[in-house]
Amino acid sequence: MRIDKYLWCTRYYKTRNIATQACKKGSVKINKESAKPSREIFPGDTIQLRKDQVHYSLKVLDIPESRVAAKLVNLYRADTTPPEALENQALLKLAKDHYRQRGEGRPTKKDRRDLDEFTDVTED
């Protein structure tokens, strides 16, 4: 099976076109070698991919016939991503939640108090 189709079938990418573009950009590697979208994969191969600033690592266990349900994905791959990478993703999401959008103006008094409480700044 092609690598772009496999990544789509195992739900790493929403569409096959997005998976193809990721392969063309060099975000996907098979056995530590950069992979073209048409590269064939086999059970036992290791895949490294970079998506949303996280380096995922997985091992191919089996080849699916078509796109599989989210509950069945673990039958076709073993996720060997280090836990630190997933923690970084959680921190990145938390940082984005506290980001002020451009055009919102200056912080209000309540925003300033929340920021001071968050950073534990005390005035002397």
Amino acid residing at 101 = Q
pLDDT for residue 106: 78
Q: What's the pLDDT tens digit per position in 97-124?
A: 666 666 677 778 888 888 788 776 455 5
pLDDT for residue 69: 92
H helices within the chain, ranges in order? 3-9, 16-25, 83-97, 109-119
Higher pLDDT, 6 or 84: 6
pTM over cut 0.85:
no
Reduced to 3 states (helix: H, G, I; strand: E, B; else coil), residue 54 is strand
Q: Where are the domains of the chain?
A: 3-100
What's 3-100's CATH class? alpha beta
Per DSSP, 40 falls in state: B
